[in-house]
Amino acid sequence: MRRGLGQYVKKGYGGSSTATRRMGGTAQTAQALYSALSSGSGNPFAAPGSPLDPALTGGRSADEVMDAVVEAVRPVDGTQDAEASRTSIKDALSDVLNQFPDADLLNLQQEQRELAIERFVAADVFRRVDLDIGRTIREKAPSAAMGLGRLKEVREYVRQTVSASFRRLRDTGQQMSTGRVTQIVQMAIRETFLVFEGYAE
């Protein structure tokens, strides 16, 4: 699996730098998601009449709020990337609620917002891998069940690697804030692809 991910980054994209650039949309979406999950005047999506206006979202279920966040952050545009990102946002918010059942999605604590961004990035990186080589993984597996099992293994490994990349950035003093989300996410994605690329050698 590791060697396959290494070849995917090295040969499929010509290296981690190109792969990171290909994921530029993920970093931009992460920035919008971070803003959408922020409370107060710094959230452009929560202004009166906007999609996440508290007057419009009050009393809604967690599922309805998640859908509203998805619509605000990544509207449908007919592309595979948009569909993948929309699913990744929903998955990330579900992960936050699984870990913090009492969390208010429209008034998250910093730790919860950072978890949402980390899980979104991991899900989006995996979906890019799946779009590019998932079919090949499934077709080369001895059975459909084994193919799905291998993809699940890849997804979990991508999540662990992305999480480790964010941890390393935090350990070196890189703090996530409204103005730095895009940069932090780009650095985490690059770190992740560098790890993958190393397996090709």
pLDDT score, position 1: 84
Per-block average pLDDT, block size 10, for the chain (201 residues)?
89 92 94 90 84 86 94 92 94 96 91 96 95 90 92 94 94 90 95 90 68
Mapped onto helix, strand or coil, the DSSP state of residue 20 is helix
Q: Which of 123, 153, 131, 181 is nearest to 13 (CA)?
A: 131
pLDDT score, position 39: 80
Q: Which of 47, 19, 25, 36 is nearest to 178 (CA)?
A: 36
Q: State whether the Cα torsion 94-24-172-155 is positive or negative.
A: positive
- The separation between the first and the last C-alpha atoms of the chain, rounded to the nearest angstrom, is 14
What secondary structure letter does DSSP report for 9? I
- Cβ pair 88, 65 in contact under 8 A: no
pTM: 0.92
Which residues are CB-neighbours of 121 under 8 A, at least 6 positions away? Answer: 26, 30, 162, 166, 185, 188, 189
What secondary structure letter does DSSP report for 132? I
From residue 60, alpha-carbon distances to 64, 89, 105, 106, 150 in Å are: 6, 18, 11, 11, 37
pLDDT score, position 149: 93
Q: What is the pLDDT of residues 138-165, one digit of tens each?
A: 998 999 999 999 999 999 999 999 999 9
